[in-house]
Structure 1
Amino acid sequence: MSTRNSDKNRWLIAASAVAIHLSIGSIYAYSIYQIPLNETEGWSTSSVTLAFSIAVFVLGVTAAFLGKYVEEYGPRKAGLAAAVLYGLGMIGSGLSVQLGSLPLFLATFGVIGGMGIGLGYISPIGTLVEWFPDRRGMATGLAVMGFGAGALLTGPLGNFLIQNYGVSTAFFALGVLYFVLMSLGASYLAKPEKGWLPDGMHDMEDAQEKAKGALRGLDVHTAAEARTSPRFYMVWLIIFINVSAGIMLLAFASPMLQQIGGATATTAAFITGYIGIFNGGGRIAWATLSDYIGRTTTYAAFMVIQIAAFFVMPQVSGVWILTALMFLVITCYGGGFACLPAYLSDLFGTKEVSAIHGYALTAWGFAGVAGPQLASFVLESTGSYTNALYVMNVALVIGLLTVGVLRWRIGKLQDDRTKKATPVTTD
């Protein structure tokens, strides 16, 4: 489709968003720094891991509290600010390694870099939703696919730089590269002109009719209004459970493959190396599908698939069947992130979707702690990952029930509005 009545091309807007997310998605390749920093700086594994944990925590806080900044100043300024923060965080990390300062490393990679990731994650999302009223899921899925696939770029490139030039130089080079990519992407970002629609669409209702997965008949909400809605908290809980399940597998995939599937350490390492492909691919695949079957149905599918997978995993005897089930769960994990912005815009409108998205991403931060900690607790208590899978299955059943209640709630609001023919202003 063309982008008539605009000097911007919406597909280049999508490419710009991918450039930003591909850069900040390098956080998924953080493990490449672990051993080099252990060996060259003498920093303990827990100390190096702490920088990653701080970055993820700051990411969530930044996304939650700077969503208003994105709405106020626009995606271009927000994206450029993210480029500066993430670039400085990476370059500062290289400097801290040269100086041998762990506190400086925690501050630069963890705090400054984490702020850049959080701001960069949300800055293009609301813009994409407005440029693709007919394909919300596909557009936002394409962007966050870049985030999920970021490790595919950083993993081999970062390893090459570390092995040939050292850890600090790797941070310097990657920092410059990410700054350039993010700046180029942010420079092209802009919201469409007021009243703009893709070719073949006459008004927003027509756009929504053509967007088969979109919800209709719900009111536009500000971020403050959305936070008081039961719908928001149901979505938050669904995301929390979905992410907890996926992160648990991401954190313990290798030992689970060895303990449950009987894989060797080498085979397990080989398999986990391909998780990023399914994380990224699941994002675009599920998000595109959600445009046709609806976001609520998509999240219900995530829960049903994972309930079945987590039930079967402890009982499989072959490593490759277990691998296939893990990859399937990881597509649901990535798909949950990809469908979220489009779902929030379906439920609350596009007016302040960046800010609402930021609030919803706090579920990610909490799940990043809950998933691995739950698995660790159950493992230490029972000595088996099997029980951890069953415990997580209980949470997934709760998630499926929540999706059902949310579907009923949405249907009731739509029916009430149709009957009264007046806006529904409160839940």
Structure 2
Amino acid sequence: MQKKAKNRWLIAASAVGIHISIGSVYAWSNFTTPLMEEFGWTAKQVQFTFSLAILFLGLSAAFMGHFVEKYGPKKSGLLAALFFGVGIIGSGVAVNTGSLTLLYLFYGVFGGIGLGVGYIAPVSTLVKWFPDRRGLATGLAIMGFGFAAAIASPIMNDLISGVGIANTFFVLGISYFIIMTLSSLYLAKPEEGWVPKGFSEGGKKIPQDLSQLTANESIKTRRFYYLWIMLFINVTCGIAVISAMKPLAVESIGLTKEAAAALVGGLGIANGLGRIGWASISDYIGRANTYTAFFLLQIPIFFFLPNITTQSIYAVMVVIVYACYGGGFASIPAFIGDLFGTKQLGAIHGYILTAWAAAGLVGPLFAAYIKDSTGSYAGSLTFFAGLFVIALVVSFLIRIDIKKLRAKLDEKVKNSVAS
């Protein structure tokens, strides 16, 4: 007797549980000032903790993708819960001992590994459970990652002022460990041959993947590098603006620091909604068209943004940037599934996410360098507009590969019907 299939919407809810937990990394800035005041550490020293976590997110996603494919989403999720939980709880120990090195080790390294494994494990599984609505499903989970900071920030602030920094880490670490563990226990791959209700023999057709490649086969193709370049440029330009949004708004349109802080909070919502919105749209217009839209929208925005002085126009422009930034992350797993299949999607996704790790270093550092050299962010924004032109060209080049793959697939189907 065949086992009853799990509810795929509960699988999606479990994925959201994991992503809301690990996405709290984006609320790291809540600890910056309290740590500097308590220990006399510099902003650069404290900020390096966050950079280290993002670096290890990218590295662990790349190296642990094969682990996710081999051992499945449940074990991978539990491993992520262990690393992330230990990382956050250990950060409390680091604070109690006043050790910056231990903070780097626990939050940066252990927490970062938990981030990377926790990021790819549920997403690769969702693509398999939602062959008919890949964008929507992955957008839901990755939206959780985007919204996590908005949920975590007020909780962190209340805890820090109420129980202190170390105890805040202890409370959060235990809470995240429990949420991630319970979420992981429900995660599972669908049974071989499973299809959603209504898509059985004679029912609606599920779009066929253009190929079924292993991770090592995928990196020998041109389209892998096209995807990597597009994600790298979208994240580099977006994260540079995000990292400097508050001073940029003060410098460009004369907002007060309080108004700029409020704008940044509102833009976090645009980031989260962009993830679910763009990923869902990609199910209807196609992933290649979605990425082309990102670049067509952002080229003029980055080119004209330094000269915009009207607050409402400026706000609309940066909302679009934040939405496209989030949408790029949410659409990429479905794009990978379309082009390479689901055989080793987690591992391929891990390889592609090295673009995030690289962009996280390049974007903010370049923007800061231009600001220090010229006294303004304007030069970096114009440069990023040029990068988006390159990305736009790549979004057309990948279509050539897609067209060839589709022709090959159609020929194969035609031959199998004929025989």
Taking structure 1 as the reference length, the TM-score comes to 0.94
Q: Are 2:5 and 2:191, in contact at CA under 8 Å, matched by a contact in 1?
A: no
Return the alpha-carbon distance in structure 2 between the equivalents of residues 283 and 85 of structure 1: 26
Return the alpha-carbon distance in structure 2 between the equivalents of residues 405 and 415 of structure 1: 16
| Equivalent of 2:92 in 94, 102, 127 | 94
Q: Are 2:26 and 2:149, in contact at CA under 8 Å, matched by a contact in 1?
A: yes
CA-CA distance at 1:179 after TM superposition: 0.5
Matched residue of 1:243: which SS? helix
| Equivalent of 2:38 in 23, 37, 40 | 40
Aligned to 1:201: 199
Residue 153 (structure 2) pairs with residue 155 (structure 1)? yes
Return the alpha-carbon distance in structure 1 between the equivalents of residues 387 and 35 of structure 2: 37
User: Aligned pair in 2 of structure 1 residues 134, 417: CA closer, same or farther (>3 Å)?
Assistant: closer
Aligned to 2:286: 294
Aligned to 2:364: 372
Return the alpha-carbon distance in structure 2 between the equivalents of residues 278 and 155 of structure 1: 16
- Counterpart of 1:382 in structure 2: which amino acid? T
Question: Which stretches in structure 1 are left out of the alignment for 5+ residues?
Answer: 210-215
Summarize the alignment of residues 314-325 of structure 1 with structure 2, pairs less than 5 Å apart: 314-325=306-317
Aligned to 1:212: none
CA-CA distance at 1:412 after TM superposition: 2.2
| Equivalent of 2:397 in 386, 390, 405 | 405
CA-CA distance at 1:333 after TM superposition: 0.3
Give the alignment's Cα RMSD to 1 decimal. 1.7
Aligned to 1:69: 67
Residue 27 (structure 2) pairs with residue 29 (structure 1)? yes
Deviations 1:252-278 (A, max 9, x none): 101111111111112111111222111
Q: Are 1:257 and 1:319, in contact at CA under 8 Å, matched by a contact in 2?
A: no
Aligned to 1:337: 329
Aligned to 1:350: 342
| Equivalent of 1:263 in 241, 248, 255 | 255
Residue 273 (structure 2) pairs with residue 281 (structure 1)? yes
CA-CA distance at 1:204 after TM superposition: 11
Return the alpha-carbon distance in structure 2 between the equivalents of residues 422 and 109 of structure 1: 54
Return the alpha-carbon distance in structure 2 between the equivalents of residues 7 and 37 of structure 1: 48
Q: Are 1:6 and 1:192, in contact at CA under 8 Å, matched by a contact in 2?
A: no
* Residue identity (%): 48
| Equivalent of 2:172 in 166, 171, 174 | 174
Return the alpha-carbon distance in structure 2 between the equivalents of residues 64 and 305 of structure 1: 30
Aligned to 2:383: 391
Residue 179 (structure 2) pairs with residue 190 (structure 1)? no
Q: Are 2:209 and 2:341, in contact at CA under 8 Å, matched by a contact in 1?
A: no
Matched residue of 1:193: which SS? coil
Aligned to 1:104: 102
Return the alpha-carbon distance in structure 1 between the equivalents of residues 78 and 5 of structure 2: 21
Q: Which moved more, 1:353-362 or 1:263-272?
A: 263-272
- Counterpart of 1:88 in structure 2: which amino acid? V
Return the alpha-carbon distance in structure 2 between the equivalents of residues 35 and 217 of structure 1: 49
User: Aligned pair in 2 of structure 1 residues 205, 46: CA closer, same or farther (>3 Å)?
Assistant: farther
Return the alpha-carbon distance in structure 2 between the equivalents of residues 81 and 45 of structure 1: 31
Taking structure 2 as the reference length, the TM-score comes to 0.96
Question: Which stretches in structure 2 are left out of the alignment for 5+ residues?
Answer: none
Q: Are 1:20 and 1:181, in contact at CA under 8 Å, matched by a contact in 2?
A: yes
Matched residue of 2:206: which SS? helix
CA-CA distance at 1:153 after TM superposition: 1.6
Deviations 1:47-78 (A, max 9, x none): 11111111110110000000000001000000
Q: Are 2:35 and 2:41, in contact at CA under 8 Å, matched by a contact in 1?
A: yes
Return the alpha-carbon distance in structure 1 between the equivalents of residues 133 and 233 of structure 2: 26
Q: Are 1:133 and 1:207, in contact at CA under 8 Å, matched by a contact in 2?
A: no
Aligned to 2:112: 114
Aligned to 2:125: 127
CA-CA distance at 1:206 after TM superposition: 4.8
Q: Are 2:121 and 2:346, in contact at CA under 8 Å, matched by a contact in 1?
A: yes
| Equivalent of 1:240 in 232, 257, 266 | 232
- Counterpart of 2:70 in structure 1: which amino acid? E
